[in-house]
Structure 1
């Protein structure tokens, strides 16, 4: 009876950490989408049906701006994780990601597309650093490796998603999907946090 109770407690503890980990790593799915964005998206933007004029130099800089902004995001994320905490840093990153997807999906001006890519690069670094730290801190030692691997899994799935969706749907569809994921994280994530910390302090 005691063993059964302990097993049930263990399962409850693990379950209570998996769901917050999935929500916390949604930003990695979004970041994976942004990472793979340029390959399919630039082909669509260069099509005759698109009103935005894309030059060869723009192809280079739309990808490079994302990566360079990622470098800029590293010191920002380092500061924010210590100043406002891991959870709040993830929140800030989710809001920025939401803004980036809205800009990318609905702008018809190239300068705003650059802005969306820069914001995406910054939030990618912010969320990657903060999410790994958060998952490491709240996970039980026996499932810590599994929970932290969700970050990479979500990123890979995000890249596969962008390759699968952009060539076959209207351009705004993938951006709406990314924005919805970011919005879900912004709304739901706070409700998991207290429960997760409660169980992690009792492990």
Structure 2
């Protein structure tokens, strides 16, 4: 993942699906009118499953202040200065605002898993939640530490969480599985007739 913290879901109309239909042409032409809504339903179901799986991992890490389980990632502890200034709290969870903002957000042209796209400034340093997320994810360079260092170490959350649910390939597999399942249920179209 590049320097971003949200996961953008592919738009259903960007999918290049191939559905091979055999049989009576009258039935096939009648089917094509109903195919789009069925594909959309399978897409919506599968992306919701994937998104909820990813969100559970992320929210657990935020709530507990620990890296995603099984990621092999280790987060550096908060500096003494940070503890003095804000008190003991789980990493990523100072006020709970970040935790509550994480979700599935639908916009006109895309759907994202992560933080809402907004320009609202937080009370902590006057930055947006997305700016804060990037600082926490990628750090500010160097090791964290002392009062005058100004460096915040990287504490990756999004990239390892996304990887743990299969990344882009896992998302693709979940989408095709959902669409195939819906087409089988609605029209009896077998999995081997649908390719992406």
| TM-score > 0.5 by shorter chain | no
Q: What TM-score, normalized by structure 1, do the two folds share?
A: 0.35
- Which has the larger strand fraction? 2
Higher relative contact order (CA 8 A, sep 6+): 1
- Which has the larger helix fraction? 1
Q: What TM-score, normalized by structure 2, do the two folds share?
A: 0.36
